[in-house]
Each structure stands twice: as structure tokens, then as C-alpha cells.
Amino acid sequence: MKLLFCRQSAGDEFLIRITTNHLSLQEVMRELEDDSAGALSIFMGNVRNRGRFGNVSEIYYEAYSEMAEEKMREIENEAQTKWAIKKLVAIHRIGNLKVGETSIIIGVSSEHRHEAFEACKYIINNVKTRVPIWKKEITDESQKWTDGILLE
């Protein structure tokens, strides 16, 4: 199953960045393969069992998908301008995720490790503050939207 690609009617393939599907690390790794890349840096964000409002059973993620895709592309372009990146994947899952499931994977390959580390960190930090995605923590007692950062 090909999760990372979305096929357009014209036959062009492009990377999707927001999905309701499970995220597959293997697929991301395959996407990052590049014989000239000596370094590969991956960041995965998982749902943890302790939240701001108690023991979490799951998290509901919601996105303004059109704008989120656009903002993620913008952040990826900035990273590509700042560092010599070979391949890059950034994908965020939305919907209901259980504890332990992966909500986001950022993957960067580059010739040497410095670029991959830095770009990966830059992308996740900026996705968290600039992309219109919201999360609601669901515990046994409550369902509450997490406080976040007002977009600029």
C-alpha cells in the first residue's frame, strides 16, 4: 500500500503531507534513499499516555488541510534553502490516534549528519508553531483541546 503518494488525474505524483492513514517509517525510509546521502535523520512524534489533563487514552488531531499542506511546503522549502538536503519527507497524521501511535514523521537525508540533524529539528519546531493543526486530549474524564500558539 502506497501511503505517502497521492496520484493526480494527470498522472503526476506528489508527496502528501496530511493523511488519515497510519504512518509507516519504512515507507519514509524508502522515500529518503539516496546513494549520495551519508546521513539520514528521522523525527517521530508519538502519542504519549500522560497529557496536560491526565492519563490520555487517545488524541484527536484536526487540520485545516489545504493551509497545513501549504505551510508545510513553505517550511520544507526554507529548510532546503538553509541546508544541503538530498531528500526530505514531512507527514502528519490526523484523526483519532491511540497511545503509542505516530502522529508525525520528519525525515531528512543529506551528505553529512549536520545538515540532516539541523533540518529535521528546524522542520519539527516550525511545524509545531506555524501549521494549522489542533489536538484534543481524550482522557477517561474529559476531552479538552490543548492550548497552543496563535498563528502570525
Residues that bind another protein (CB under 8 A): 45, 61-64, 66-68, 70-71, 92, 103-104, 124, 127-136, 145-152
Q: Give the Cα separation of 134 and 103 in Å (integer).
A: 12
To the nearest whole angstrom, how small is the minimum distance from the Cβ of residue 23 to another protein? 13
Q: How far is the CB of 59 from another protein (least distance, A)?
A: 10
Least separation in angstroms between CB 93 and another protein: 10
**61 or 122: CB nearest another protein:** 61
Nearest to 42 by CA among 122, 105, 133: 105
- How are beta strands 102-110 and 39-46 bridged, if at all? antiparallel
Report, in Å, the least distance between residue 31 CB and another protein. 20
Cβ distance to another protein smaller for residue 34 or 42: 42
Which C-beta is closer to another protein: that of 19 or that of 34? 19
Q: Which residue number, 34 or 58, has a Cβ lying nearer to another protein?
A: 58
List alpha helices for 36-110, DSSP H: 65-82
Q: How many CB atoms lie within 10 A of CB 59?
A: 20
Nearer Cβ to another protein (13/66): 66
CB 90, min distance to another protein, A: 11
Beta carbons of 87 and 32 less than 8 angstroms apart: yes
Per-position b or e across 99-115, b if 16+ CB within 10 A of its CB: eeebbbbbbbbbeeeeb
